Structure 1
Amino acid sequence: MKMRILLIAALCLGLSGCVTVGPDYQKPQTPQPDVSDVVGAHGNKGREVTLGKKDLVAWWQVFNDPMLTELIHEALQGNLDVREARAKVREARAQLTISRAGLFPEVDATGSYKKGRDIVGYNTVDEAMYSENTYYHAGFDATWEIDIFGGTRRGVQAAQADIQTQEASLESVWVSLAGEVAQTYVAIRSFQQRLTVAESNVRAQADTLDILQARYQAGLSDELDVQQARYNLEKSRSTIPSLKSGLEISTNILAVLVGQMPGTLQKRLAQPAAIPKAPFNVVVGIPADTLRRRPDIRMAERALAAQTARIGQATADLYPKFYLIGSIGLESMKSENLFNSASNVWSFLPTITWPIFRAGSIRANIEVQNAKQEQLAARYDKAVLNAVKEIRNSLTAFSQEQERLVSLTAAVDAAQKAAEIAQQKYRHGLVNFTNVLDAQRSLFSYDDQRIISQEAITGDVIRLYKALGGGWQYLRSQAPGQAPAGPAQTARASATTARP
C-alpha cells in the first residue's frame, strides 16, 4: 500500500509543470521617438548639449541651487504619495508569497478530546444501560493541489509582474514628485522676483507723483498730470496683492509636497533668490532608450505582462484539478495508550475535480481577462504616445522660449532708456506727461514678462527631464526606503559629528 502511495505521488510530481495553459507573454517593442526636427532646430546660439544617462540621474543638481536640492530630497523622504507607493510595493510582495504558497502542500495540525455516554443495552425493567467513553486524537492533515495545467504558476507569474508594476509606479512617483517640487520652487522664486520689480516700480512712480504734486502746487504743472501719475501708481500697486497671494499659495503647495504642514516653509524661503537657470542653451540629443527607461512606460508594460499571465490562470479552470489528500495521526480510547504503535492511523485519498457545467462562467471569465489584456495593451500604447508628446513639447517650448527671452530682454533695455529719455524731456517741457506714463508702463510690463519667461525656460528644462524619466535611477542607488541627505542635512550631520 505504501508503495502504491509513493507511485501515485511520483506520478503527480512528474505531471506537475509539464503543461502551462494560456498565452506566453511577449514584451512589446518600444519605438524610438524621432525628435530630430525639434532638438536644436530653431537657430539658438549657445553651447550644444546631448543629454545622457548620467545627466538624468540627479538632474536637479545641474541648477546648482542647494535649497532646491535639499527640498527635493526632503520631499522624496516625507511625501505622502511616496509613502503610499512604498506600501503598495510591500503589498505586492506579500501577494507573491501568497501565490507561491499554492505550489506547496497545505498541512494542518489537528487534535481533539471527546468524552460521552452511549447506550449499551437495557435491563429487565427496560431501563437503559450506559457506558462512558473517552476518545483522544492527534495528527496532521495535508492537502496538495498538483498544478498540472499551470494555473497556480500563472498566478505566480502575475504576482511577480505586479511587484514590478508597483516598483515602477513608485519610481514614477519619484520622477513626478521631483519635477513638481522643482517647478513649485521656481514659481516661488519667480513670484519673489516679480514682487521686487513691482515694488521697485511703485517706489519710482510714487517719487514721480511727489514731484508732480510739488510742481502742481508751484503752478508749474496742471492737475491732469497729477491724476495720471496717481492712477498709474495705483494700478502698479494693485498687482502686488495678487503676487503675494500667488507666493503664499505656491509655498503652501511646496510644503505639502515635502510632507510638511502648510505654513512651515515661509520663514525658510522668505529671503528672495534668483530663479534657477539651466547651464545649457540648446539640446541637440537625447538618450536612445529614453522611452524604455521611463517608469510609467515600464509600469504599463509590467501590468500588461501580469494580465497576460492571468489569462492562463483563468484558462486553467477549464481543465481538471488533481489533489492529494491525506492524514496521519494517533487515536486511542485511553490517553496512556495514545503514543503506542497500535494507535497509529493514516489515510490517503487522491482526488480529481473537473468542471462539467458552470453555465459558461469559466469561458466568460477567460473573455474578461482577454478584454482586460486588450485594455492594458491600449494603455501601454497610449503611454508611449504621451511620452513622445511630452518630450517634443518640452523641447519645442524650451527652444522657442529662449528666443522670446532674448526679445523681452532687449525690450526691457529699450523701455528703460525710453523712460529715462521721456522723464528728461518732460522736465524740459518738450513732451507731455503721457509719454512718461507710457514709458513707465512699458518698462514694468516688459520687466515682468522677462521674469515670467525666465521661469518658463527653467520650467521647460524641468519638464524635459521629467519627460525623459530622470531621477529614479539616483534614488535606486540609495538605501532602501531612504532619500539622500540634502546639503543642509549633511552640514548638520557634520557639525554634530564634530562636537566633542
Structure 2
Amino acid sequence: MNLISSAPRMGTTVSLTLAMALMGSCSWKVGPDYVPPEEADLPDAWHEAAVDGLAKGESSIQTWWQVLGDPVLNDLIRRAGAGNLTLQESFYRVVEARALRGIATGEKVPSVDAFGSYNRAEFSEAGVSPAAPGSDPVNIWNLGAGFTWELDVWGRVRRSVESATAGFEASVEDYRDVLVGVFAEVALSYVEIRTLQDRIDYAHGNIKTQEQTMQLTQDRFSAGLVSLLDVAQSESILTATRSEIPVLATSLEVAYNRLAVLLGQHSGSLQRELQSAPGRIPRLPDLVAVGLPADLLRQRPDIRAAERELASQTALIGVARGELYPTFGLAGNLQLEALDFSDLGNSSSLTWGLGPFFRWNIFAGGRIRNRVRVEEASTAQALLRYEATVLRAVQEVEDSMVSYQNERERRRYLGESVDATQRSLDLVLTQYKAGLTNFQNVLDTQRSLFERQDLLAESQGLMVQDLISLYRAVGGGWDPDSMEPDLALNADIQTHREGVQP
C-alpha cells in the first residue's frame, strides 16, 4: 500500500523537476543584449598634410620591422617576443582570464558532492526519544552523494558567462597591445643605439680633423707666422669636442641597458654584442604606405580591447538585475545508511531525496537596485572610454605622420647644410694656410661642421623612430585575421615559449 501511494508522489516530484529544468534552459536573459557601438565617426581619409609624401593604399604592418632591412633588429624583435617580462606577465593575465571564464561557465551545471561519515553514539534515556534502558552504543555508517543545481531561469548565469567571455577576449587584445608596444620599444631603443654610435663616430672624426688643425697652428706659431692665440683657440675647440664624448657614451650605455631589460636580460649584457655587430642606423623603405582611418578599428588592439570591455561590462548589468528575481534550483541526494558497515550495500540501507527549491531576496535595503545602477554607470563609462580610445588612436597616427614628414624634410636640409659646411671648411683652411683669413673663421666653421653633423645623425635616427612610432600608432606587429581568441591564446603560448619569427 505504501509503495502504491508513493508512486504518484514520486511521479509528481519527477514531473516538477523536469519542468523546472526546462525553465532553466530557456533562451531569455535578463538585462540588455549587447549591441556593438556604432562605427566611430572616423574621417574617410587622413588629413592631407599628414599623408603628404606617403603612399595611399594597403599597408603590410604585421611584421613592419622587416622593411627596415636590419637582420640584427629582426633578431632582437624575436628575442623580445620570447623574453620580455612585461609580455610574459600580460600572457598570464590571459591565462587567468580564461580560467575565470571557466569558473563562470561551471555555474551552468550541477554541483555534485560526495560524502561519507562514521559515528559511534549512545543516546540519552531521558531525551525526547529516549533509548531503552541499558542499550549499547550504536555505530552509524553513511555514504552517498548530493547535488545542487541553480536553474538559470532569468539568464543571470548566462550573462555572467557572457561577461567573462568578453573579458577573456579583452585580455587577449591587451596582450596584443603589449606585444605592439614591446616590439616598438625594442626598435626605438635599437635605433637610438645606432644613432648614438653614429654621433660618437662623427665626434671622433671631428676630433681627428681638429687635432690636425691644432698641429697646423702649432707649426705656424713655431714659424712665427701666427700668435699663440691661434694655438690656444684650436686647443679650446678640440677639448670642447672631446668633452662631448662622455655625454654621448653615457646615453649609449643607458640605451644598451634599456634594450637589455626589454629582452628580459640583465643590464650590461648587450654592449659587446652590439659593438661587435656592424651596423648603422636602419635604412628607410623607399615607399611607406598607410591604410585608412577605419582600419584602426580592426588593427589597434587597444580599440579592440576597449570594445570587448564594453561588452563585458554590459553583460554585468544582466547579472545585477538577475538578483532582483527569485532563484530556482534543484537539489537531491542519494545515500546509504546502516548501523553495520556490511549492510551498506543492501537495498534497505538506501535513502534518497529530490526536489526543487527557490530563494528570493525580497528586501535588501535598496542594495540590489543600486548595484544595477552601478553597473549601468560603469557601462556608460566603458562606452566613453571606447570613444576616447578611438579619438586618441586617430590623433596618434596623424601626429606620427606629421612628425615623420617634417623630420624627413629637416633631414634633407641638414644633409645639404653638412655638405655646404664641409666645402666651407676646406676653403677656409686653404685660405688660412695662405694667410688670407684669420683663425677665427676656421674655428667657427669647424664648430659649425661638428654641430651640423651631430644634428644630421640625430635627425636620421629621429626619422626612423618617427616611422616606428607610426607603425606602432596603427597597431602594427600582429595579424588581426589570424585566429579566434581561444586559438590565438594557444598560438601565443607557443609564441611565448619560442619567440616570434621575424
TM-score, normalization: structure 1? 0.91
Secondary structure class of the residue paired with 1:221? coil
Match of 2:15 in 1: 7
In structure 2, do the counterparts of structure 1 residues 342 and 130 end up closer, same or farther at CA, with 3 Å as the change threshold? closer
CA distance in structure 2 between the partners assigned to 1:191 and 1:118 by the alignment: 90
Matches within 5 A, 1:31-180: 31=40, 32-33=42-43, 34-41=45-52, 44=53, 49-50=55-56, 52-53=58-59, 55-120=60-125, 129-180=134-185
Aligned to 2:6: none
Report the alpha carbon displacement of residue 2 of structure 1 after superposing the two structures with TM.
Answer: 2.6
Once the two structures are TM-superposed, the CA of residue 40 in structure 1 deviates from its matched residue by 3.6
8 Å CA contact 2:46, 2:293 repeated in 1: no
Report the counterpart of residue 496 of structure 1 in structure 2. none
Q: Distance in 1 between matches of 2:49 and 2:471?
A: 16
CA contact (8 A) 1:120 1:131 kept: no
1:274–1:74 Cα change, 3 Å: same
- Aligned-partner Cα distance in 2 for 1:266–1:51: 40
Extract unaligned runs of 5+ from structure 1: 491-500
> Which secondary structure state, in structure 2, belongs to the residue aligned with residue 319 of structure 1?
coil
> Residue in 1 aligned with 2:447?
441
Percent identity of equivalent pairs = 39
**Deviation string for 1:37-93 (max 9, x for gaps)?**
13443xx5xxx633525x111110001100000000100111001111110111111
Q: Which residue of 2 aligns with 1:481?
A: 493
The structure-2 alpha-carbon separation of the partners of 1:179 and 1:83, relative to structure 1 and needing over 3 Å to count, comes to same
Q: Distance in 2 between matches of 1:208 and 1:425?
A: 13
Residue type at the aligned position of 1:437: L
**Structure 1 residue 189 corresponds to structure 2 residue 200:** no
Q: Measure how far apart 1:6 and its partner are.
A: 1.9
Secondary structure at 1:472 match in 2: coil
Instruction: State the one-letter code of the partner of 1:481.
Output: I
Residues in 1 aligned to 2:293 and 2:48: alpha-carbon distance in whole angstroms: 16
- 1:40·1:282 contact (CA, 8 Å) conserved in 2? no
CA distance in 2, matches of 1:239, 1:121: 101
Match of 1:27 in 2: 36
The match for 1:498 is none
Equivalent residue for 2:400, pick from 394, 415, 422 = 394
Q: CA deviation at 1:218?
A: 2.5
State how far apart, in whole Å, the 2-side matches of 1:121 and 1:294 are.
78
- Structure 1 residue aligned with 2:345: 339
**Could you tell me whether the CA contact under 8 Å between 1:412 and 1:443 is conserved in 2?**
yes
Given that 1:209 and 1:226 are in contact with CA atoms closer than 8 Å, whether structure 2 keeps it comes out as yes
Higher mean displacement: 206-215 or 277-286? 277-286
1:35 partner letter = W
Alignment of 1:239-254 (within 5 A): 239-254=244-259
Do residues 371 (structure 1) and 374 (structure 2) align?
no
What is the CA-CA distance between 1:351 and the residue it aligns to?
Answer: 1.4
- Normalised by the length of structure 2, the TM-score is 0.91
Post-superposition shift, 1:208? 0.9
The CA deviation at 1:141 is: 1.1
Superposition deviation, residue 419 in structure 1: 0.5
Q: How does 1:288-367 map to 2 (within 5 A)?
A: 288-367=294-373
Query: 1:322-351 CA distances to partner (integer Å, 9 max, x unpaired)?
Result: 121211111111222221111110122421
Q: Which residue of 1 aligns with 2:261?
A: 256
Partner of 1:493: none
- Name the SS for the 1:305 alignment partner: helix
Flag structure 2 segments of 5+ consecutive residues without an equivalent.
1-8
Secondary structure of 1:142's aligned partner: strand
Deviation by residue 1:349-381 (Cα, 9 ceiling, x = unmatched): 421111111111111111111121122111111
1:485-496 alignment, distance < 5 Å: none
Could you say if the C-alpha distance between residues 51 and 444 of structure 1 is closer, same or farther in structure 2, counting changes exceeding 3 Å? farther
Secondary structure of 1:113 counterpart: strand
Q: Does 1:411 align with 2:423?
A: no
Pairs aligned (count):
479
Deviation at 1:30, TM superposition (A): 3.4
Q: Which amino acid aligns with 1:9?
A: T
Give the drift of 1:130. 4.0
| Separation of aligned partners in 2, 1:25 and 1:284 | 32
Instruction: Evaluate the alpha carbon distance shift between residue 238 and residue 475 of structure 1 in structure 2; reply closer, same or farther with a 3 A threshold.
Output: farther
* Distance (whole Å) between structure 1 residues aligned to residue 423 and residue 369 of structure 2: 80
Deviations 1:363-401 (A, max 9, x none): 111111112112211111111111001110111111111
Give the 3-state SS of the residue equivalent to 1:318 in structure 2.
coil
Of residues 194, 200, 205, the one that matches 1:200 is 205
1:198-248 per-residue CA deviation (whole Å, 9 max, x = no partner) reads 011011111211221222233211011111111111111111111101110
Residue 260 of structure 1 deviates from its aligned partner by 0.8
CA RMSD of aligned residues (A): 2.3
